[in-house]
Structure formats: structure tokens, C-alpha cells
Amino acid sequence: MKKYILRFTGNGAKPAADVARIRKSQGVTIVDEAPRMLLVQCPKTRAKQLVEALDNWVMSEERTIELPNPRPKVRSKRAA
């Protein structure tokens, strides 16, 4: 199952009632929480249903990027 970021776009912190509704939703697991966002694991259709039912919430799919190696290899000089 994929993970989705649910972000509250209204004023202030995310409403506790909305978080409780998301938490009680069948098939939805809250993986992480921030003051204005939730990372949830659930089917895409379920995440869309939640966002459509709640005011001031938007959804995006979690994406990961590969970071470059912080320790690049030093090239050795070849003998001429």
C-alpha cells in the first residue's frame, strides 16, 4: 500500500476532530504526524474520499528521491 501526505490548508493547526475522523477510518494507518500534516498509509481511493469529505485538506502521494553520495571518490592520477 502506498503512503499519502494529507495537508491541512486552513488557518492554524489541523483540527483535532478531522484527525480523529482520519484515525478512525477503516483501512487507514497514520504513519507520521506534523502540526499541519499527516502521513497515512491506505488505498488511494480511501485517501481521496477523506480529502473530499474534510474541508481544507489536500492530498499528495509520498515521493522519495535518492540523495547524492556525500563523500565522492577521489580520482587517482594515472602515470603518463
Q: How much is the pTM?
A: 0.78
- pLDDT tens digits, one per residue of 1-52: 899 999 999 999 999 999 999 999 999 999 999 999 999 999 999 999 999 9
Residue 60 sits at the vertex; the CA angle it makes with 56 and 65, to the nearest 5 degrees, is 145
The structural domains of the chain, with segments of one domain joined by +, span 3-61
The Cα 4–Cα 73 span in angstroms is 36
| The CATH number, out of the four listed (3.90.920, 3.30.70, 3.30.1560, 3.40.50), of the domain defined by the range 3-61 | 3.30.70
19 contacts 72 by C-beta, under 8 angstroms:
no
Minimum mean pLDDT range among 11-15, 58-62, 69-73: 69-73
